[in-house]
Structure 1
Amino acid sequence: MKNTSRLSELDWLRVILIFAVFLHHVCMPFNGDGWHVMNKDSSKLLDDIMVYFEQFRLPTLFFISGVGAVLLLSNVSAKQFILDKLVRLFVPLLVGVLLVVPPQSYIENISEMGSFWQELPMLALKFDTNHLWFIEFLIVFALFAIPINQFLASSSGKFVINKLRTLTDIRGGLFVLVALLIIIKVTFSLAFPSDDNKIENLSASTFYLFFFIAGMVFIQDRHIWLSLGEKRKEHLALLLVSTCVFYAYYYSPDLSEYLSLDVRWAIWWTVCCFVAWSAMLTLLGYAQVHLTQSPKWLRQCNELIYPFYIFHQTVIVVIAYFIISWPLSIPLKIGLLLMSSFTLTSAICFFMIKPFNQFRFLFGLKPIKQRPTSTTASFDAARRDNSSNKRA
């Protein structure tokens, strides 16, 4: 199935999930979680809702990226693939680290700093990826994608794919893979107990790599891919059960008297894996069945969603710095922050980046091919005619 046409369900999910990431960051100043800027008052209910959606937004995006890696590798050489990733991932990451991230660090420590322009060189040279860690992970995963894709084309890889194909015929078969995800998550999280999203933190990188590889494997076989849509109701039922288990443990009383800290964390990571895996299977299945068209506006959103992701958090932090000081309720502040930051981020993407090839290159978009003017086209046609006459 590697040479398949564009999958509309992935276009939809990519846009929906990046917008969900945007909504998450809009709400961060109000959930009491100690973000870059924080409102004086916070909402515990908001935090309880946000922690659930944290479990599957980015894992599903990494799965989609794995699918995209296979589709690209089916059309270009490994060398071209690496060049494409360097241009479309590394360049925007470098520009983002040097220019887009520093305002966030400045706002976070504004009381201890001078003017922004004085502090910019120091902030830029910290090379803090901040929310752009997602791009850093994709660069590293792209390097893994080439040997993984070669393995999947081998006899050993085809054996793995056939076994997975067999699983799809068993009730709840694909959900069984969550056991492998749990082993990876618990093992590496106990060995590397860190909450940061740095590529060297194996508790995070191996977790997301599992989803990336899953995307690469699932797209190899048409039967496996279509089973996502066929088993969507089954996966939805598993998601509902996983959700109940998740919140049952989330709201459980203090268990420290009965269970060690490591055991309690292991249970938490397990229920998080249940939600992450079942939610991803469910989203892919329902999208495959119901999101079958890619309208023009969706294709344009897919083009601009990358720079939107790069800019959105900085815009949110800067605007939120002012809004949190206003004497308004939390819902009203969230609404104002949502509308203003979405408008400004969209304007940056649409009016500053989209029309100009220089900015398109810096933020990972393909260049706009210039159409020849009528004068140039006429000249070229006359030149071809002249050459034909000479040969005659």
Structure 2
Amino acid sequence: MNNILGGRRHDIDALRVFSFGTVIIYHTSLLFGTRDWLLNSYESSRLMDLIAIGSHPWRMSLLFFISGLVTASLLNRKSVEEICRSRTRHLLLPFLFGVVFIVPPQIYFAALVEIPGMSYWDFLKAYVANGIMVEHLWFLLYLWVYVCLWSLAMPRLTKRLPNLPSAFASSLKGAGLFLLPVAFLAALRVFLYPVFGESLNVINDVYAHALYFSMFMAGSLLVNQPQFWSEIDRQRWVSLGLAAASLLAIVTIALVLPREQRPDVLVVLMRIIRSVFQWCSIITLLAFAGRIASRPSRVVAYLNKSMMTYYVVHQTVIIIAAYCFIQADRLDPGDFLPILIITLLVCAMAAEAKKFAEARLVPWVSKLVAPRKPREEPSSLEAAG
């Protein structure tokens, strides 16, 4: 496995790219599944629901876990002020830009299906009056809040409880690697989720904060604990088997019995099984990534630098592409792959455009607007010379 205590974690880079890639696949699949979304195809497919079933429970939790790893690593090298300033630039500014310029077009094109001919200006007036939406960009805001809070709290916490990370890692040994996290996740899903749901509103999203901030803290505490990484590697086949078995159970129930027909006891059981799948998938991916992606990869390095652009842009591209298919009087599950390819191509072009702007336009604008230094008068000796 990769060196945990030092050096770049190439496995974590690869997992980050993989997780963001599944986000794009997941959102594309929502066009064709049975769940109501911004836009839906003429024909829904329960098979498309399997993409959400197989990726949604672990994907965002893994991203927050990875973000905790990265934040803890940054705290070893940078001050809290530097981290908060850097994360504001890399998370909060893209969030604000996306909320203003990227999210409204996707809402507009989705609304055009119901209200053909509506102008973008009329839409914007109604949109602002009814309250702006953050859609998929919630992740950036949540992560920015977590990074800033934890950067302030972690140094103080580990100073008062210096053995906390090692004690936490020690508890995740043998059966404890599975029982403790699954029990925690199941408790959140059984008791908090039915009451609060997931609002994706940073002010009142009780269940999501309990889940995602916990995963973020776990990643931060475990980053420099070799015993944890050795344990998940040793138990990788057990976790893979449990993840596969729990996924099979969830898929079977989902295909055989619609949600509205499930008795309460089965709903609770499904939430527990979902928690098994969630945690076992996360540690399985961490373990196998440590073995498979332990070396530098040019593809991963290239994509890792572009993932933020992909994430901010992708959902709007999906919706606009789907709208174009609807205008051509076609949008069915067979269009999943074409829309996915279109989305990836447009995201790649957007990422390259951003890099070009950062490399060429930003320095040029900076020079243009930078105040010129007053020209110094030559000394008498210089003038004489």
**Matched residue type, 1:305:** M
Q: How far apart in 2 are the matches of 1:244 and 1:86? A: 41
Question: 1:307, 1:349 within 8 Å by CA — same for their partners in 2?
Answer: yes
Q: Relative CO higher for 1 or 2, CA cutoff 8 Å, sep ≥ 6? A: 2
Q: How far apart in 1 are the matches of 2:343 and 2:53? A: 22
Q: CA deviation at 1:190?
A: 3.3
Sort the Cα spacing of 1:355 and 1:103 in 2 relative to 1 into closer, same or farther, 3 A.
same
CA-to-aligned-CA distance 1:257-312 (integer Å, 9 cap, x gap): 9954xx55433322221111110000000000111112223212111100110000
Runs of 5+ consecutive residues of structure 1 not aligned to the other structure: 362-366, 371-392
Sort the Cα spacing of 1:258 and 1:268 in 2 relative to 1 into closer, same or farther, 3 A.
closer
Question: 1:2, 1:74 within 8 Å by CA — same for their partners in 2?
Answer: no
User: 2:348: which partner in 1?
Assistant: 346
Question: 1:99, 1:124 within 8 Å by CA — same for their partners in 2?
Answer: no
User: 2:194: which partner in 1?
Assistant: 190
User: 1:309: which partner in 2?
Assistant: 311
2:122 matches 1:140: no
Residues paired across the two proteins, number: 359
Q: CA deviation at 1:66?
A: 0.9
**Matched residue type, 1:176:** L
TM-score (norm 2): 0.84
CA-to-aligned-CA distance 1:135-185 (integer Å, 9 cap, x gap): 111012113312442255235351x33333333442463453211222233
Sort the Cα spacing of 1:270 and 1:360 in 2 relative to 1 into closer, same or farther, 3 A.
farther
Runs of 5+ consecutive residues of structure 2 not aligned to the other structure: 367-385
Question: 2:169, 2:222 within 8 Å by CA — same for their partners in 1?
Answer: no
- Candidates 234, 239, 257, aligned match of 2:238: 234
Q: CA deviation at 1:326?
A: 3.9
**Matched residue type, 1:184:** L
User: 2:227: which partner in 1?
Assistant: 223
Q: How far apart in 1 are the matches of 2:49 and 2:258? A: 19
User: 1:8: which partner in 2?
Assistant: 10
Q: How far apart in 2 are the matches of 1:180 and 1:360? A: 49
**Matched residue type, 1:97:** V
User: 1:84: which partner in 2?
Assistant: 86
User: 1:23: which partner in 2?
Assistant: 25
Q: How far apart in 2 are the matches of 1:329 and 1:90? A: 35
3-state SS of 2:44 partner:
coil
Question: 1:172, 1:234 within 8 Å by CA — same for their partners in 2?
Answer: no
Q: How far apart in 1 are the matches of 2:145 and 2:269? A: 29
Moved more, 307-316 or 292-301: 292-301
Question: 1:167, 1:174 within 8 Å by CA — same for their partners in 2?
Answer: no
Sort the Cα spacing of 1:36 and 1:258 in 2 relative to 1 into closer, same or farther, 3 A.
closer
Sort the Cα spacing of 1:355 and 1:124 in 2 relative to 1 into closer, same or farther, 3 A.
farther
Q: How far apart in 1 are the matches of 2:262 and 2:297? A: 55
Sort the Cα spacing of 1:135 and 1:88 in 2 relative to 1 into closer, same or farther, 3 A.
same
Sort the Cα spacing of 1:216 and 1:316 in 2 relative to 1 into closer, same or farther, 3 A.
same
CA-to-aligned-CA distance 1:43-75 (integer Å, 9 cap, x gap): 111113422221111111111111111111111
Sort the Cα spacing of 1:168 and 1:360 in 2 relative to 1 into closer, same or farther, 3 A.
farther
User: 2:133: which partner in 1?
Assistant: 128
Sort the Cα spacing of 1:348 and 1:231 in 2 relative to 1 into closer, same or farther, 3 A.
same
Q: CA deviation at 1:256?
A: 8.6
TM-score (norm 1): 0.82
Q: CA deviation at 1:325?
A: 4.6
Percent identity between matched residues is 22
Sort the Cα spacing of 1:95 and 1:358 in 2 relative to 1 into closer, same or farther, 3 A.
farther
3-state SS of 2:34 partner:
coil
Sort the Cα spacing of 1:17 and 1:181 in 2 relative to 1 into closer, same or farther, 3 A.
same
